[in-house]
Structure 1
């Protein structure tokens, strides 16, 4: 079984970071990983009382599941139902963002793949390289990716 991770961040309307998370996942399939990451992000929003949210995901399928009421397959049924139940408690919009525009979340997911369990990162003590990516992202600057 290969390593997989989930990651996400919550920003305010000015682009400032309010919360971040990273977590390891057992990779069943890519859709299950994406759905679990979406669930963790929605749960974090609810935990902090963020009820008006714009969700961006770099996989189109979760957007279709939520926006177009696609049911997915039987393996994902309960996970999708749980996400939709939580989203019913919020005012939200969901949209697709290309991977290149979601580099900070990709960094968090990669970090999550090496963690032992779910972790909310201390936004006051983030790694310098990640802080730099966040600043570039906020300024809508292009990113350089190595490796």
Structure 2
């Protein structure tokens, strides 16, 4: 929801939202699965994205290592953080992603 609200506030008319949560992707086709405590804000976001060229898709966590790493970075942050440039700890992953190089997760 923050992504849609931020895009609308910046006047962006194109937004592609990729999520590793299939539940989030399904919520765009059926608001019934959105918890009632979030429903009003969700409805506002649906209205906002209806004025954009908006696309939502599912991607497995392994398919987007940059997003996975950003989520992990976000766990250590307090409050909303906005970067105008790629964070230094993400540079190598971003370049590997842009070059279509695979990323393998080993445990």
5+ long unaligned stretches in structure 1: 1-38
SS in 2 for 1:94: strand
The answer for the alignment partner of 1:45 in structure 2 is: 7
5+ long unaligned stretches in structure 2: none
The normalised TM-score by structure 2 is 0.82
| Structure ranking higher in strand proportion | 1
Instruction: Kindly provide the CA deviation profile for residues 76-125 of structure 1, in whole angstroms up to 9, marking residues without a partner as x.
Output: 3223213212212211111111111122112112111111211112406x
Q: Highest relative contact order (Cα 8 Å, sep 6+), 1 or 2?
A: 1
The answer for the alignment partner of 2:95 in structure 1 is: 135
The answer for the alignment partner of 1:116 in structure 2 is: 78
2:62–2:104: 8 Å Cα contact kept in structure 1? Answer: no
The normalised TM-score by structure 1 is 0.62
| Structure ranking higher in helix proportion | 2
Aligned residues: 106
